[in-house]
Structure formats: structure tokens, C-alpha cells
Amino acid sequence: MRRSTDRILTTHVGSLPAPRDLWSLNGVDLGRLKQATRDVVRTQRECRVDIVNEGEVTKGGNWVVFVNERLTGFEGKPPGASISLLKDSADWHDFDEFYKAAMEGGTLFEQTRAAPEVTNRPLDWNCTGPITYCGQAALQREIDCLKEALGDTPPSDAFLTSTAPASLEPGRENLYYKSQEEFLFALADAMRVEYQMIAKSGLLLQVDDAWLAALWDRIGVKMGLEAYKRYCAVRVEALNHALKGIPPEQVRYHLCWGSWHGPHSKDIPLADMVDTLLSVNAQTYLFEAANVRHEHEYVVWGRTKLPDDKILAPGVVSHATTLIEHPDLVSARIQRFANLVGRERVVASTDCGLGLRCHPQIAWAKLKALSEGAALASRELWSKRSAA
């Protein structure tokens, strides 16, 4: 991905507001999908976003559910395991009344209920046979829609999202492979097909990994920190296996803490995950840095050596609040990171996907604030160097 050589570049994590008729991709007319992709690319440009995507409209707007139809070897089962795992945390126990109200009101993941719920897609699966990738046609449609919408913009200034093997494990029970590790690497081998197709198209590949950190207060606390870090290391090993042969400069890795609208009082600190983050064979790392649970963690980069070939894309606007960040605040957040790791190695981003977390009007306003703040930070950061 491009560095911020003459100004702070902007991007986002992936999901953007999607038209309701695209949330179920079955039977969607290709012409309709292409038009929606053109619209979302155009709106990003109007918001002055530099490195864009198709807003995940070609995935039905969901960062993980889309992949279910692209993998063989699974049979759907009644929901239960994934919801139980989500609820099995100290945070959910401590704030049980809040979570009950949010779940009943449908506001845990989107506060204004502007995003439709997709109830006809299984969330839990049994692995009953060999895992292979069968989503080539669907993925090629995504690639074609985005590249066509880009026009003269080079594909290297756009990205498509996919999912990390570690974030495909939850909700999927292994009934076929001899061990969980064998199951994990089978997932990695299958997803490698998707990763390679995206990279070979010339687009940037973004790998989303929301569960790796979010599992801490579900399974990690019981294991202890060192054991959990070993658990994470195996998952990163599987991801790096799947990324083999793809130039790191084409890879963006997004780590978050689940990003539901809740207290997040038991999130694992970034300081305990930063080594895991940097062990992923990616050039660019996207992570939450604007919400009130994690904003203070920018200081981690003052005591952590960022390899010279890496780029940080911290969230400087958050999905976690409906308040629109003032551009001056966005600028200040950007400058914190630039002063620690260098302005050329900072790209301004969002905490998480805005499409599943914010009302559409709020989502687009936040992207405008992101770009306005980046412009302010650019003037400040480049004027300092000129004055020196």
C-alpha cells in the first residue's frame, strides 16, 4: 500500500452502508450490483478517501457470513454455539442487563437498526468433510465489479476484504479432522485460494480478524496470557501459511475487539497483542485507536519497534459513537502516531467497518471528518518539516 509521502492518506476498514436489496445476494441482478459498487466507490471519493473498496456490498454487507457459501465440507446446524461463545465473557456477565436490553432491541451491532438483519443464513456449522474453496465465481464477480468501478484508479489504490482462519473457527465444529490444528490449517489452505485471487488481480488484500482478540475474555483468561499468546501464535502461523507467496505490501491486516456496541470492559490490551499483530506477514496493520476503550493505547508504539517496512493505519474515527469526530480531534489523533513512527508510515483509517455499526448518514459523515482531519494533520506535519 502507498505510504503517506506528501500528505496523510486515508482509508477505512471495509464495510460501508449497503442498499437493503443487496443484503441477500441470491438473485441479485449483476447490473444492480455493478451500479451499487459504482455508487459506493463514487461516494468514497466524494468523501476524499484515498484507498477505497466496494463497501462490501458485493458480500451482502457482512464481513464473515459471505464465506459460508464459498467453503465445502460444512453442514449448517441450528444456531447456538456462536451466540453462546459471544455471551460467555466476564464483560457480558458484569453488564448482563445492558446486553439483554441491547440484544432484545437489536441495537448491539447497529444502534439505530438501520442495517437489516440477515436471518436466513446459518451462523453455526459442522465440518463433516474435506474443506475446499468453491467461491471462485463469486469472488471473481467482486473483483470485476470493483475494478470496473475504479475506472482510471489503479487497483493498488483499492482493497477487497477476506477473513482470517482464526475468525472462521468460532461457530464451526470440527467433526472430520483429527485435531483442531489440522482443521485450522485446512481452513487456511482453502482461504489461500481467495487471498491469492485477490492479490493476483492487483488489488490490495485485507484480512479481517475480529475474533482473535475478542476470544481473550471467553477462552484466554482461563488459559492465562502466555498460553493464550501461544494459541494466537498458531493462528498467525496458519494465516501466514495462507499468505505464502503474496507480497506483504499487498496485504492489510485488521485486528479488532469484536466491535459490538457494548462496554468492552474486559478487552485484552493492545500491549499484550502487539507482538502477535506484528508477526502477521502484512505491510499494513489496521486497529482500533479512537474508541474510548483503546484510544490511550497509542503510547504502545512509543515503546514498540515498528519494522521499517511496515505501515500503521489506526482508527481515528470510531464506529462506537454516533457523535461525529471534530476534524481537529482527528488531526490530533493522527499526529500522535506520526510523531511516534513517522508521518510516512501512518494512514488514517476507521476503528471498524461503519456499514454494520453506524446509520448511513453517520457513516458517511465520519468518513468526511476523517479526510478533513487528515488534511489538517498533513498541513501541520509537513509544515513542521519545512520549517526545520
Q: State the cell numbers at 130.
A: 474435506
Confidence of residue 260 (pLDDT cuts 50, 70, 90): very high
Q: Which amino acid, one-letter code, is at 120?
A: N
The mean per-residue pLDDT over the stretch 245-259 comes to 96
**DSSP annotation of 294:** T
Q: What is the pLDDT of residues 153-200, one digit of tens each?
A: 999 999 999 999 999 999 999 999 999 999 999 999 999 999 999 999
The mean per-residue pLDDT over the stretch 83-91 comes to 85
Q: What is the pLDDT of residues 315-328, one digit of tens each?
A: 999 999 999 999 99
Could you please report the per-residue DSSP string of 131-155?
--B--HHHHHHHHHHHHHHHTTS-G
Q: Are strands 124-127 and 74-77 parallel, antiparallel or unpaired?
A: antiparallel
CA dihedral 66, 71, 73, 76 (to 10 degrees): 10
**DSSP annotation of 158:** B
Would you say residue 57 has pLDDT above 70?
yes
The mean per-residue pLDDT over the stretch 285-298 comes to 97
Q: Which of 26-35, 88-97, 339-348 has the highest mean pLDDT?
A: 339-348
224 φ/ψ sector (left φ>0, alpha ψ -120 to 50, else beta) = left
E-strand spans in the chain? 9-10, 74-77, 124-127, 159-163, 172-174, 204-209, 251-255, 284-287, 311-317, 347-350
Would you say residue 122 has pLDDT above 80?
no
More confident residue, 82 or 190: 190
Q: What is the pLDDT of residue 309?
A: 96
Would you say residue 253 has pLDDT above 90?
yes
Half-sphere exposure of 282 (CA within 13 A, CB side): 27
> Which top CATH class is 9-387?
alpha beta
CA dihedral 368, 370, 372, 373 (to 10 degrees): 160
Q: What is the pLDDT of residue 279?
A: 98
Average pLDDT score over the chain: 93
Q: What is the pLDDT of residues 231-240, one digit of tens each?
A: 999 999 999 9
Q: Are 310 and 283 in contact (CB under 8 A)?
A: yes
Would you say residue 116 has pLDDT above 80?
no
Which three-class secondary structure state does DSSP give residue 365? helix
pTM of the shown model: 0.95
Name residue 335's beta-bridge partners: none
Q: State the cell numbers at 357.
A: 455499526
The mean per-residue pLDDT over the stretch 144-153 comes to 97
Domain ranges of the chain: 9-387
- As a whole-number percent, the residues of the chain with pLDDT over 70 amount to 96
Q: State the cell numbers at 25.
A: 445476494
